[in-house]
A and B are shown apart, each in its own frame.
Chain A
Amino acid sequence: MATENIMRVNLKVWRQAGPKEKGAFVTYENVETTPDTSFLETLDILNETLVEKGEEPIVFDHDCREGICGMCSLYINGHPHGPATGATTCQLYMRRFKNGETITVEPWRSAAFPVIKDLMVNRNAYDQIQQAGGYVSFNCGGAQDANAIPISKEIADEAMDSATCIGCGACAAACKNGSAMLFVSAKVSQLALLPQGKVEAAARAKAMVAKMDELGFGNCTNTGACAAECPKNISLSNIARLNREFLCAKFKD
């Protein structure tokens, strides 16, 4: 590590011993890292020093560290997944911050995502919504010839764009209403756009919205904060599609 590349940051981190405990911010000063170190690695470095000192390391979610698993979270300096757009926390590098900067790190704050410990929240609510209807329940058979089902390039692209949602929870975390609409709309859209998913589209929209409401997520007011903060750039047009699918389904009942 070349000495000129070393940078120091102050990490103001939310520490909370358990779901029912009262949490508070703890500031760790002069954490040594480099601009090319990822944000999660910087937390790892800090944790090593905490372990050496015999303190409890900071608990945070992470897994693949390449932006596809949806496990990492963190509300960094007022943004879910930090200041970078279209990237997850694991894809965030320290060069985004200034030397000597104080970085505030908070867990997702949403009634439906209770804190488990420190920065780790329980995102089981999204799994429950997915289980309520985010699937195709019949046998589609084996892989068919690619040209057997004609789908236009635009529709295929849009379905793929919706399917890139990793269910990380940044949308609900960014929303001032704690709404999960961007997530639910992406999951409904990726299937509703394609012939196999269209069959159950109405039932799916109703079941997933009912579960979302039941779990205590808020009502969408179209501020667009979700799409602006989404690490996968999921579009707000998905929400319009979900509204359409849901309302059409309800009016047919």
Chain B
Amino acid sequence: MNLFILNSSIGRKLVMSITGLFLVLFLTFHMCMNIVALFSAEAYNMICEFLGANWYALVGTAVLAAGFIIHIIYALVLTIQNRKARGNDRYEVTSRPKSVEWASQNMLALGVVILSFLALHLYHFWAKMQLVELQHMAGTNVDTSMVTNGAYYIQQTFSNPVNVVLYLIALCALWFHLSHGFWSALQSMGLDNKTWFNRVKNIGIVYATILVGGFAIVVIAFFIKSLCCAA
């Protein structure tokens, strides 16, 4: 196969597609898990415990991080190559045809928004949960009483309106990223034709909407809950 995933344009896009779809799969699990928090804090904390610092969760985290890193490195490499291919001279007048989605031309910018959000999100949850557990395992003297109390951290994070706004902005960016990313991944893998063209596009948009909607409901529900409790 002589390393075509490194040195051919279509091979590099295959890597983007596979890592992208892997991240979509992760988001699906994450969203389902979050929905549990709407119904039962206890059940949600059980999931947190299950996904704590044990070997399978750590392997999962490592694979997930690798997925993110590969997706981001390839995105940067592809973008640099594409800018080079465009040449040094830019067009004086440009006009986007109606059929070209805005998201498709701004995937990197949307990705940067999502990545910045990821840093904030890891700080809000992962740094207080799995990281503390890992520190404890490494022998550091830390308080581990709260490491599996995910429900508490959800409540704490989304009672702050600034976090709510930031999370919703990030979810919008994610929706746009997925609205192009999902069908684009299938197209790059060659799983598209005339009949399935619009179907794949619509499946992608519906899927992105369900996914982002699922995340957003949890954010909004806990914000409203915090308002009611305060009042």
Interchain CB contact under 8 A, B86 and A243? no
Report the interface size for chain B: residues with CB under 8 A from the other chain: 47
Which A residue sits closest to B188, measured CB to CB?
A: A243
Contacts A78-B93, A218-B81, A237-B194; A110 near B180 (Cβ below 8 A): no
Could you tell me the distance in whole angstroms from the C-beta of A236 to the nearest C-beta in chain B? 7
Interchain CB contact under 8 A, A237 and B84? no
Q: How far is the CA of A66 from the CA of B97 in the complex (A)?
A: 24
Over the window 229-248 of chain A, the binary record of Cβ atoms lying under 8 Å from chain B Cβ atoms (1 yes, 0 no) is 10000011101111111111
Which A residue sits closest to B10, measured CB to CB?
A: A246
Q: How many A-B residue pairs have CB under 8 A?
A: 152
Over the window 129-167 of chain B, the binary record of Cβ atoms lying under 8 Å from chain A Cβ atoms (1 yes, 0 no) is 000000000000000000000000000000000000000
Segment at the A interface, from B38-46, B99-107, B171-179, B219-227: B99-107
Q: How far is the CA of A109 from the CA of B85 in the complex (A)?
A: 10
Could you tell me the distance in whole angstroms from the C-beta of A119 to the nearest C-beta in chain B? 13
Q: How far is the CA of A12 from the CA of B96 in the complex (A)?
A: 20
Which A residue sits closest to B5, measured CB to CB?
A: A250
Which B residue sits closest to A181, measured CB to CB?
A: B9
Could you tell me the distance in whole angstroms from the C-beta of A25 to the nearest C-beta in chain B? 7
Interchain CB contact under 8 A, B82 and A224? no
Interchain CB contact under 8 A, B187 and A240? yes
Check B12 for interface membership: any CB of A closer than 8 A: yes
Interchain CB contact under 8 A, B85 and A217? yes
Main secondary structure on A side of the interface with B: mixed
Q: How far is the CA of A209 from the CA of B10 in the complex (A)?
A: 8
Which of B13, B105, B183 contacts A219, CB < 8 Å?
B13
Interchain CB contact under 8 A, A216 and B4? no
Check A190 for interface membership: any CB of B closer than 8 A: no
Interchain CB contact under 8 A, A111 and B86? yes
Check A3 for interface membership: any CB of B closer than 8 A: no
Contacts of B85 in A (CB 8 A): 110-112, 177-179, 216-219
Q: How far is the CA of A79 from the CA of B184 in the complex (A)?
A: 24
Could you tell me the distance in whole angstroms from the C-beta of B138 to the nearest C-beta in chain A? 42
Could you tell me the distance in whole angstroms from the C-beta of A159 to the nearest C-beta in chain B? 13
Residues in B lying within 8 Å of A, measured CB to CB:
1-2, 4, 7-14, 78, 81-82, 84-101, 104-105, 107, 180, 183-184, 187-194, 197
Closest 4 CB pairs of A and B: A244-B190, A78-B95, A218-B85, A178-B85
Residues in A lying within 8 Å of B, measured CB to CB:
12, 14, 23, 25, 75, 77-79, 104, 106, 109-113, 158, 174, 176-179, 181, 209-210, 212-213, 216-225, 227-229, 235-237, 239-248, 250-251, 253
Q: List 19 A-B contacts (CB under 8 A).
A: A23-B89, A75-B93, A109-B91, A112-B85, A209-B8, A210-B8, A218-B9, A218-B84, A218-B85, A219-B82, A219-B85, A222-B104, A228-B99, A240-B187, A241-B190, A243-B187, A247-B10, A248-B190, A253-B2
